[in-house]
Structures are given as structure tokens and as C-alpha cells.
Chains A and B, each alone.
Chain A
Amino acid sequence: QVQLVESGGGVVQPGGSLRLSCAASGFSFGSHGMHWVRQAPGKGLEWVTFIRSDGSEMYYSDSVRGRFTISRDNSRNTLDLQMKSLRPEDTARYHCARDPDGRFTPYYFDNWGPGTLVSVSS
């Protein structure tokens, strides 16, 4: 079965950096686009970024563009999110999620990981 497991969360000061990872198994990782979606404590869901199945194109939300970078390694079945210039409003649980397709534009999220918690605070 599809399994997505995030890691790398923690507490970081404003302006700091953090790198999240997602280990994927149970499916053909290189055939699917992948996303990061976050949820601030007690709040709703917010899409963060998407990467195509072959890694050729990435899309970002306005709130993170220029600060976050998504990448993937299809040989290791891993997805990463490099986060820089972190702000208190980036505090959230970050989920990696699979796109049902992902060869072109992002669609929706058919499988989710449990998430990893990021807290930006001094």
C-alpha cells in the first residue's frame, strides 16, 4: 500500500532554515507528481508546492515562492522541501501528498503522509 512518511520538522528561529524529507513506498514514485501541503494549528489546509513526476517543473504558492524549494530523487524515492527565511506564519504541520498523475499540471492529493511539525519561534 502507498506509504508516505515525513521527517525533519522541529523548532527554528525566525529567519532560519529547515529541510523536510518524505520517504515514499508502495507505489511507482517516479510516475507521480508530489506535493507539500501544510496546516497551521487549528486552521485549514494550504497547498504549498508541487513537483512533476520527472522533476522538470515546480509550482509554488505565493506565500512561499522564493523562500521554499521542492526537489525529488526518483532513484531513492524521496521528496524534499528546503525552507529558508522562515517566518512565524510558516508554523504548521507539513504533509507530503501524492498527485494521481503529475506529468503536467497539479491535480489533487490522493494519498497523504501523517505530517511533520514545524514551529518557527524565537
Chain B
Amino acid sequence: DIQMTQSPSTLSASVGDRVNITCRASQSVLTWLAWYQQKPGEAPKFLIYKASTLRGGVPSRFSGSGSGTEFTLTISGLQPDDFATYYCQQYKGQSLTFGGGTKVEIK
């Protein structure tokens, strides 16, 4: 299986900050990568697919980049609603795998 590693595991930031979350794959997944946001007690919400394509309705302050084995989720101008845990997920093979998650907390 393809292993996905996210860093950092926890990130402390303030409203208005630009934050970057990194996701690394153990082998190339081309651009077959998605990102999700999860708040406590809620189901995950789908944000981005194909590494950089935003789902309709997702604010433009969210962006994704990368290909191969290294990917980044960027939030430009952190809003109060953005404090949550973020997961990457690869879908290159028949076995899907997630990163361990990055919790974005209030500094």
C-alpha cells in the first residue's frame, strides 16, 4: 500500500495567517490526491481533488498544489471556521490511504 505522511501533526496559527500543510506519498501518486476537513463530532468534508481542483463552494482561500510524492494544502488568510483537522488521501491504486491528519488550532 502507498503510505501517506502529513506534517506537521499540529499547527498553531492565528486568524489571518497563511498556513501550509504538507502531505508526502511513499511512491508517486501523480496528481491523484484529495483533501478533507474535519471538525470535532462531524463527518469529514471534501475540499479538493486531483491535487489542486477545488470542490464547488469551497472558499478560494483554500488551494492545493503538488504532484508525484509531495503535496501542499494552503489556507491563505485563516478564518475562524478553518480551525479543524485536515487529511490528505491518495487514490492512485485500488487501495486508498489517508495521511495521519494535521490539526490546525488557535494560537
Question: Given that A47-B96, A62-B1 are known contacts, is A106 also in contact with B91, CB under 8 Å in the complex?
Answer: yes
Q: Are B98 and A106 in contact (CB under 8 A)?
A: no
Q: Are A95 and B98 in contact (CB under 8 A)?
A: no
Question: Given that A44-B87, A59-B94, A61-B95 are known contacts, is A109 also in contact with B100, CB under 8 Å in the complex?
Answer: no
Q: Are A112 and B44 in contact (CB under 8 A)?
A: yes
Whether, in the assembled complex, A111 has its beta carbon less than 8 Å from a beta carbon of chain B, the answer is yes
Chain A residue nearest to B85 in the complex (CB): A44
Whether, in the assembled complex, B62 has its beta carbon less than 8 Å from a beta carbon of chain A, the answer is no
CB < 8 Å neighbour of B95 from A45, A59, A95: A59
Number of interface residues of A (CB under 8 A): 22
Whether, in the assembled complex, A114 has its beta carbon less than 8 Å from a beta carbon of chain B, the answer is yes
Q: Are A46 and B98 in contact (CB under 8 A)?
A: yes
CA distance A64 to B99 in the complex (A): 19
Q: Are A45 and B44 in contact (CB under 8 A)?
A: yes
- Closest Cβ–Cβ distance, residue B24 to chain A (whole Å): 15
List of B residues within 8 angstroms of A59 by Cβ? 94-95
List of A residues within 8 angstroms of B100 by Cβ? 44
Q: Are A109 and B95 in contact (CB under 8 A)?
A: no
Whether, in the assembled complex, A27 has its beta carbon less than 8 Å from a beta carbon of chain B, the answer is no
